[in-house]
A and B are shown apart, each in its own frame.
Chain A
């Protein structure tokens, strides 16, 4: 097992910059999710770590060793492909044993290790089946088996659950995390699904247009999004933005949102007059009729345990996640109270979060 460190990695395809100046470290045994929409450069980053693509510039270190220009076969890593890439001319046993064969492991040991791996993944019963006609989940397990059988330095996974049914995906998310807890392999996992990333990863790197917008734990990314992009990408419904124009003073503890004074974590940054956005998660909005921030109910979405209520405030539509007990009428006037300890503030021009006491520990991508 090993640490993966990438430094100023950049990849350009002709005119198109797929990955721009990326740097991060995945600690030994850590599970990193590269999260972002399609075309954001997450798969390209993964393929460069694997050695399937060469970077235009930058460096990749595996366990401290510079492997930037090493062949894929010399890096001792495993890769699980989105379409699994199970060799169709081999049965399950041969597929799993194939990486060991290249290392010249004796036949008896291959057999033992393949069977041990199959037990770990609970696929012993299909070892001698052809890979044709395997169910999606079993294909997934065979692909995982081929990855873990030789105990590589790290695992790279490219949207391995992307093609599974929704219900099965949840089972596999659980299984993958379980597997990670058992074997503690350094893992880089590419996905566009925030739930997968949140549920499995120790660290998440949110990518957009080839740039890492934020790198941090799922909690950091959810609670202290470093940019409006991250705030909008993570969470469902995403973070609400209340846009307003104002200047900022260092040490301020409130802002005036078009006449309404809103308390927030202490601002650590001086700013001239400009467009700002107050970021508030749906679950940090409460209904309080005495609040000065008012709006009319636009719609409500009942979810069983709670409901999402959309309120038109005149400064934008706010979606609040509140208890399902209260019934709202469309058009009803309500007062909204925001949980001031948890508010984020963004500079609309740069899209970045304004430094505040909430953000002091946050690392910006």
Chain B
């Protein structure tokens, strides 16, 4: 077995270099984490605390933001509220303290569900199509493969929003406006080019011998793909899925344009919370905090696959 690996750096970095590198990483982490921490803290502030100046680091936490996020409320006279009897929940109590009563659930939860369905659905489709296409480009002689790959990449060379109006008109004609299916197809179309390119790189790295071995061992090409290529491509698939999911989850422009009601996703909905009864920053922050959770969970779940990328190719190169 060859131990020579010219790509490896032989020089161990000095401790000063390590310390400087460490400091830079920590600084960068702080810069990226502070806004997130601020949103998280704000979601537990009361509305007056959230806009006080100088900003409060220490404050009395309250669930008011979360209550306001999930409910619609109406203002009532104190006499009326008095007549209602004991509050039925924490939110009920918080709301009554503001001289209001809960009128019903807000649209946040349905919008959040739309986001889940559309983001995960489009990610699944884009990654599935991307894996198959990447495998084809990687393993077979596709006529005009380079031109096709360039064409696929070229779909990302302009901002997607540049085609917003044609898509809007097309979707209206096809009845895809404000439907989850329409949004899934749209996000899949945008993501599939990224998926093909990323995955082709990963699949190119998997030696053909594995499939050849499997085919000689009595499997068809499709079986070899499923049992030998796919398990080894999990790292790439996981990384690609995260990128696709983040795009679909965060997408705002198309969501504003093409969804208004039943298929509206969370990103266009969250800003509308502000308007309901003054500057309700804690509710917006609460909506944002909850909105961040799925990506966080997904990334943590796939952490192992992502890390496995480091040992990728350890079977003798």
Note all chain A residues with C-beta closer than 8 A to B218.
Answer: 73, 76, 99, 102-103, 150
Question: Does B231 interact with chain A (Cβ within 8 Å)?
Answer: yes
Given contacts A88-B232, A89-B231, contact A163 B2 (CB under 8 A): yes
A17 proximity list for chain B (CB < 8 A)? none
Cα(A76)–Cα(B218), bound, Å: 7
- In the complex, identify which listed stretch (B185-193, B207-215, B263-271) lies at the interface while the others stay far away: B207-215
Q: With A and B bound together, what is the CA distance between A83 and B223 in angstroms?
A: 22
Contact of A29 with B by CB under 8 A: no
**From A149, which residue of chain B is reached at the shortest CB distance?**
B217
Judging by beta carbons under 8 Å apart, are A136 and B1 in contact?
yes
Instruction: Type the 1/0 row for A163-184, where 1 means its CB is closer than 8 Å to any CB of B.
Output: 1100000000000000000000
Q: Does A84 contact B (CB under 8 A)?
A: yes
119-170 of chain A: CB within 8 A of chain B? 131-132, 136, 139, 146, 150, 163-164
In the bound complex, residues from chain A placing their C-beta under 8 Å from that of B314 are 88, 132
Residues of chain A in range 320-362 having any CB-CB distance to chain B below 8 Å:
none
B157 at the interface (CB under 8 A from A): no
**B residues near A136, Cβ cutoff 8 Å:** 1
For A99, the closest partner residue in chain B by CB is B217
Q: Is the CB of B228 within 8 A of A72?
A: no
CB distance from B234 to the nearest CB of A (A): 8
Q: Are B214 and A98 in contact (CB under 8 A)?
A: yes
Q: Which residue of A lies closest to B230 (CB)?
A: A89
Beta-carbon contacts of B219-236 to A below 8 Å, as 1s and 0s?
110010000100110000
CA distance A106 to B232 in the complex (A): 26
Contact across chains for B220 and A163 when beta carbons are under 8 A apart: no
Given the complex, which residues of B lie within 8 Å of A139, measured CB to CB? 316
User: Assuming A73-B219, A99-B217, A163-B316, is B212 touching A87 (CB within 8 A)?
Assistant: no
- Chain B, residue nearest A98 (CB): B217
- Range for the number of chain A residues in contact with chain B: 20 to 34
**Which residues does chain A contribute within 8 Å of B207, judged by CB atoms?**
83, 85
Q: When the two chains form the complex, which single residue of A79, A88, A146 contacts B315, counting CB atoms closer than 8 Å? A: A88
Q: Does B216 contact A (CB under 8 A)?
A: yes
B211: nearest residue on chain A (CB-CB)?
A: A85
**B223 partner residues in chain A, CB cutoff 8 A:** 102
A78 beta carbon closer than 8 Å to chain B: yes
Whether A48 sits at the interface, judged by CB under 8 Å, is: no
**Does A185 reach chain B (CB closer than 8 Å)?**
no
Tell yes or no: A77 within 8 A of B by CB. Answer: yes
Q: Is A199 an interface residue (CB 8 A)?
A: no
Is A229 an interface residue, CB under 8 A from the partner?
no
Min CB distance A187 to B, Å, is: 15
Give which listed residue, B2, B215, B311, contacts A71 with CB less than 8 A.
B215
- Of residues 73 through 100 on chain A, the ones whose CB sits less than 8 Å from some CB of chain B are 73, 75-79, 81, 83-89, 98-99
A131 and B315 contacting across the interface, CB-CB below 8 Å:
yes
Residues of B near A164 (CB, < 8 A) are 1
Given contacts A84-B316, A132-B314, contact A73 B231 (CB under 8 A): no
Interface status of A32 (Cβ within 8 A of chain B): no
Q: By the criterion CB–CB under 8 Å, are B216 and A78 in contact?
A: yes
Partner of B213, one of A81, A89, A132: A81
B213: A residues at CB distance < 8 A: 79, 81, 85, 87, 146
A interface residues with partner B (beta carbon < 8 Å): 50-52, 71-73, 75-79, 81, 83-89, 98-99, 102-103, 131-132, 136, 139, 146, 150, 163-164
- Between A and B, 10 residue pairs with Cβ closer than 8 Å are A50-B216, A52-B215, A52-B216, A81-B212, A81-B213, A89-B231, A98-B214, A99-B218, A132-B315, A136-B1
Top 8 A-B residue pairs of the complex, sorted by shortest distance between their CB atoms: A102-B218, A99-B217, A85-B209, A89-B231, A85-B213, A72-B215, A79-B216, A88-B315
Interface set of B (CB-CB < 8 Å, partner A): 1-2, 207, 209-210, 212-220, 223, 228, 231-232, 311, 314-316
